[in-house]
Structure formats: C-alpha cells, structure tokens
Amino acid sequence: MIAPLALIGLISLPIIVAFYMLRLRRRDLPVGSTFLWQQLIRDVEANAPWQRLRFSWLLLVQLLIAAIVVMAAVRPFSAVESDLAANVVLIVDTSASMATATDDEDRMAMARERARDVVERLPVGGRITVVSAADSAEVLVSETDDVDAALEAIDGIAATQLPGDLTDAFALASALARRDADSTVVVVSDASGDRLPDVGVGAPVLVEQVGATDANQAIAALSALRRAGGAQLDLFVAVANPSAVAVTRRLEVYADGALVDARDLTIPAGQRSEALVSTVPGATTLVEARLAGADALATDDTAFAIVPGEGTVRALLVGAGSPFLENALALLPRLELYAVGADGYADALAEAEEAGTPYGLLIFDGLVPDEAPTVPALYVDPDDDGVYGTVDGRIESPAIDRVDPDEPILRFVDLSTVHIGRTRDIELADGMRAVVSTPAGTPLVAVGQVGGRRSAVIGFDLGESDLPLQIAFPLLMSNLTEFLLPVGEGILPSSVRLGESVGVSVDPRIDRIAVETAGAEGLPGAATTRVEVPVVGGRATVPGAELVGLRQVTAISEVPELSGLALGRTAVNLFSPDESDVRPGDPQRITAMGRVTNGEGPDTQPTRAEWWWPLALAALALLMVEWLLFHRPTRRSLSRAFRARPQPLGGRAR
C-alpha cells in the first residue's frame, strides 16, 4: 500500500449501517383514515429510534462501494518485473547525426517512434520527464503522468544541426535519480559520437538505438590563404568519407556566390581526399564549398570561409636556415618574412626599431635568445630553457598520442601518418599547454601565454621528421600563426563551429549588440535569426550559432555614429567528424553511464503495478447498480423493455 492512512476511510462502513438502523423521523399530518388497524404495529415499529437491521441489496451495494473507494485511495500494488521504473527520464538525442535521412531511413522519425513506445511501456501510475538533447538539454515535459502530454511533446521533437553533448542531459537525469531512487534513464539515440560526462548517474540507463546507414560524406576542412601580394587565393578543401565504401563526389567552389571551380573527388572508404584550389579570384571575400548530389546528412555538405584581409605583419626567422620553415612561412599572406642568422639577431631588432618598423613575430629555429622577446614568438627545436619551460635532453622515436579533435591549433591538421626521429624532453611552464604529445605526456607541440606574451613551441627538428613533407605542415604553421597573431573579421574570428560561443570586446558606449545568423540555403531548417546581447563594461558574449551559415554582428547604441555599425562577421560550420560519421555507434558506452549491479546491467528491475484504477472502475459499476436498485421508475422501464414481445404481423401482441 502506498497511502495506508487512507484506511481511515473504513469508518464510513459502520456509519452507513447506522443510517439504516436509525429511526426514520416523519411529520404528523391529519389523514381521513388509518386504513387498516393491523398496520398500527408496523407504524409503531417504524417510529422506533432504532430498527432491527434487515437484509437489503441497496445496503450491501453501498457498503461495497465505500470499501472499494477506500481501497483505491490506499493505492494497493503488486511487485512486477519491468525494464522501466516508476520514474522515467527519457532523453531524445537531437544532434546533427540524428537528421540522417535516406530513401530507406528517417532517423529522427524512428527516434520519435521509439520514444512513443517508451511512454506506452510506462508502469501504471508511472511518471516521465521528456528531454531533448543536442549540445545542451531542454526539458519538454517534467515528471508528468499525463501520457498525452508526453506524446505531444515527443511529436514536436526535431533534429538540429548542432554537435551532440549529453553532459547536461545526464546531469538533469542524475538530479532526478537522487530525488527518486525508483528511476530509469532511457536514451533514444544513434549513439554516434555524443559527448558524455565524466561521472555517471545513480540509476539504470537503457539505450533505444536507431539508425543503420553510414552512407555519408562531409566537407571536413575549408581554409582560404591569400598569397603574398594579394593577387590570388589558395583554397584548401578536405572531403571526408567515413562510410564503408569508396565514393566519387563532385566538389563545387563558389566565390562571392559565383561558381569558380568544380571537380570530382574519389574518396576511399574511411579516408578523406584533399584539394588545393587556385582559381579563386584575389578580390573574393567569401568562399563556399558544396558537395553536389545527396547523401545521408545534408548539414555537412556545405561549408563557408571568410577570406582574410591583406594586412601584413613583419616576421623575423632566426637560425641557421631551414628551407621547410622558410617556404611554409613565406606562403602565409599575413607575414612579411625576413631571415637572419643567430649572430645578426640583435642588430636586426635594433635596425627595425630605429626605422620604425618593428617585427611583430619572431621565429627561433634551433636556438633560444638570452632575453625573452616582447612580441609573440615561435620556438622550433629549442636547445635551452625559455619562457615556454625547461629542456632536459632528448627522447628517441617518440610516438604521437591521440589528439583532441576540437583543438583549434589542429584544425584541418591530420598527424596520423607523421613520424618523428627524436624530440626535446620539455617540461612546460605555467600558462603553456600541450597540443600534441607523446603517450607519456611529453609535449611535441605546445602553445600558451606567459608573462602577457603568446608563445608556441615545436619540440623537434623539422629535418628529423616527415612532417614538412605532408600537407598538414603548412596548415599547422598557419594555425600556429593565427594563435600567435589572432585575426578575425572585425571583433569575431574568421570561423567558428556550431554551438561555439565567443567573448568579444567592444566600445563601452555600445549598449547591446545584434547577432544575426543567415542559415545556408538548401539545408533543413535554414532561416535567418536575430538575437540581441547586452554589453557590460565593454564586454559581451556572442552565443553559439545553431545553423550552418554566416553571422553578422552590429552595434546598438544611443550614440549616432555607433548605432548600426558593423562590428564583424564569421563563418559557421559543422566540421565535426563524430557527427559526420553517421554510422550508429556502440550503445554500451551510454549504458555504462548508469548504475549496474553485475557489470552488465539488469534486463529487468522490480517496479510497482498499481491496482487503484480497476478498483475505481468497479466502484463506478456498483454505483450504477445502486442507482438502478434505488430508482424504481427506471428499473420498471427497463423491466418492461426486456419483457416486451415482438409485434406479430397483422395483429396486436397479447
């Protein structure tokens, strides 16, 4: 029994019996006759305060109704085995991969169907919380026993273009599980690469997996570099094929809306093909790459790149001379590159200061200056301690550990085939972080900010590796340069990922900034959205975008010259290998987030099957029987209706 105090209602039974035994009080009225004197005894008995209790069907029915109502209020239950507890947290994955759609598969429709099935399997009297989860969680229905409300919320769920992150959804589920120990978490997902929290939840986790296809290709990288002089652009494009079969896709490149290049790329299974496009006009400001045709996921078939401006920074390469470094740095349009030996370093700095053209970036190849520079610096194969940390010998044949796919320094950089002969054993200083390291944690590439100055370090000699022979090398140098010399279109970086927020600094006289996002045409849910963000003390946070496309930021101010001022724009792309790989993942990694008892998790668990509702139906049926017993005219009408004989042909029934 869930509510044993309701048994107090059983005192209604003797009260009903007492009503039948109590004297019926009548008014005295004059009548013309007492009919028959033999009725006198009955009248005396009827006027007695208490009567002898006689059998009555009406009394029996009323007692049964009262007893059943009390038992229903007690909410009796029996223990049964079910895969769902009395309290269910239903998490529906709405990340980008859930928008997968082919002729044979609509992954989001399948997810809604599975979610509806979970609602219909709820134990009697169970409660459900419905949560949609992409990069954050949204509660659609909270702890309700209204099945219709839960089904209505599920019908309104749609896939987004955002990368998946179940951290918030599991945090919510964990809080609900702590409040009610009789809980189950159900995740409807393709289990394709969603981020999970480090700590699990205190309740069993079940996975309703959907999806089967892996037929998808994606634009995995897009970067525009302006050659020295600005007359021509070089566009780097990478197309990934995470599916199990080789495919040929047509790549189209648009410059400011005009088609400037189209080519077919053959991409092996599980690999990617890269292309350098040199047909983009130098005056281009916006580049768009598209994969023609259709595949399982449309969101990653389009990508944008904003072409950087023509402003340059004087850079000085100090060392014995490395053709690899010189060639890679000379290709970067932002750098006006000069080179000098170690002996001429001090004189070069002095001459630049005297001429009023100081260097904005220093690159040290195989050496470390006695005095740390006051401008951003890149150290390659440093032979001594520096602002980046301390050096202690060398490590032979270091292996490269797995890297963070979201690391901006490694954007578009594939180091999986790089081999290194030896590297410096560096212990990083506070403020520095490893971007690429060995399995033992020795940094191979690191960046950071020490003493207010940005620094980067490559711990090995480029000539002792095959990195300069791979296309990853110029991209890595470009990304390191962008870190050391941050650039952007106004106050924004040139490119951001979906869902990535950006902190910006603006004129303190600006009250608010308007962020307008134009979704790419042809993608599901494409639209133009606008949001206003307050500015506090000259700082504001641009919220993460939800659509692939372009974002424009403008100022809102009471100062006439600032109001409507364009502050910057940025390109928004998916660029998520996990979401583009639409092949259903391993659901066990999600199931392992829940509480288990035997290492594999129980298939079923004890839960309550409540019986109040059949008792309530029985009470209603008896109430109808009581009404029929008490209301004689209706009973007589029904009796006549049942006894009526059919009319004979040609005469009246007798």
Q: What are phi and psi of 85, to 5 degrees?
A: -85, 180
Tokens coding 225: 């570099």
280 shares its domain with 222: yes
Tally of structural domains, the chain: 5
Residue 252 belongs to some domain of the structure: yes
Q: Write down the pLDDT at residue 386.
A: 93
Helix (H, G, I), strand (E, B) or coil at 354: helix
Give the Cα separation of 637 and 521 in Å (integer).
72
**Is a pLDDT exceeding 80 seen at residue 427?**
yes
Tell me the pTM. Answer: 0.65
Both 136 and 235 in one domain: the answer is no
Q: Which domain holds residue 166?
A: 80-212+584-607
Could you tell me the CATH number of the domain that includes residue 597?
Answer: 3.40.50.410
Residue 226 pLDDT > 80: no
| 66 — pLDDT class (breaks 50, 70, 90) | confident
Nearest-angstrom CA–CA distance, 76 and 610: 6
Q: What is the pLDDT of residue 296?
A: 94
Query: Does residue 575 form part of some domain?
Result: no
Q: What are the residues whose beta carbons fall under 8 Å from the beta carbon of 579, sequence distance 6 or more?
A: 95, 96, 97, 163, 164, 192, 193, 297, 299, 300
Are residues 204 and 227 both part of a single domain?
no
In terms of domains, do 90 and 206 share one? yes
For residue 347, the model assigns a pLDDT of: 93
Q: Average pLDDT in the 1-19 region? A: 71
The H or E element containing residue 66 is helix 57-74
Same domain (yes/no): 194, 235: no
Sign of CA dihedral 374, 376, 381, 387: positive
CB contact at 8 A, 94 and 157: yes
In the predicted structure, residue 456 carries a pLDDT above the cut 60: yes
Same domain (yes/no): 93, 159: yes
Based on the domain organization, do 603 and 471 belong to the same domain?
Answer: no
Structure tokens at 593: 């987030």
Q: What is the pLDDT of residue 599?
A: 43
Residue 577: inside a domain: no
Is there a single domain that holds both residue 337 and residue 459? yes
Work out the burial of residue 607: count CB atoms within 10 Å of its CB; fewer than 13 is exposed, 13-18 middle, 19 or more buried. buried
Of the residues 484, 506, 541, the one at which a domain ends? 484
- The pLDDT > 90 percentage for the chain reads 49
Determine the pLDDT at residue 503: 85
**What is the rounded CA–CA span in Å between residue 314 and residue 310?**
13
Residues 442 and 389 in one domain: yes
Among candidate residues 424, 451, 484, the one where a domain is terminated: 484
* Claim to verify: residue 98 and residue 165 sit in the same structural domain: yes
pLDDT, the chain, mean: 85
Do 538 and 507 touch, CB atoms closer than 8 A? yes
State whether 347 and 467 are in the same domain: yes
Q: Which of 147-161, 468-482, 606-620 has the highest mean pLDDT?
A: 147-161
pLDDT greater at residue 590 or residue 309: 590
Structural domain includes residue 576: no
Quote the pLDDT of residue 60: 78
Q: Stretch 215-226: mean pLDDT, rounded?
A: 89
- pLDDT average, residue stretch 316-326: 91
If one compares 31 and 58, the residue with the highest pLDDT of the two is: 58
Beta bridge partners of 303: 289
Q: Are residues 352 and 424 in the same domain?
A: yes
Q: How far apart are CA 83 and CA 602, in angstroms?
A: 8
* pLDDT reported for residue 387: 92
Q: Are 111 and 93 in contact (CB under 8 A)?
A: yes
HEC-encoded secondary structure of 108-177 = HHHHHHHHHHHHHCCCCCCEEEEEEECCCEEEEEEEECCHHHHHHHHHCCCCCCCCCECHHHHHHHHHHH
Q: What is the predicted pLDDT for the residue at 322?
A: 87
Q: Mean of the pLDDT values across residues 91-96?
A: 96
CATH assignment at residue 479: 3.40.50.880
Q: Is residue 652 part of a domain?
A: no
577-583: average pLDDT: 93
Q: Is residue 618 part of a domain?
A: yes
Two structure tokens written together for 112? 């809604």
25 Rama sector, left if φ>0, alpha if ψ -120 to 50, beta otherwise:
beta
Residue 288 resides in a domain: yes
Q: Which residue has the higher pLDDT, 265 or 27?
A: 265
653 domain residue, yes or no: no
Is residue 426 scored above 90 in pLDDT? yes
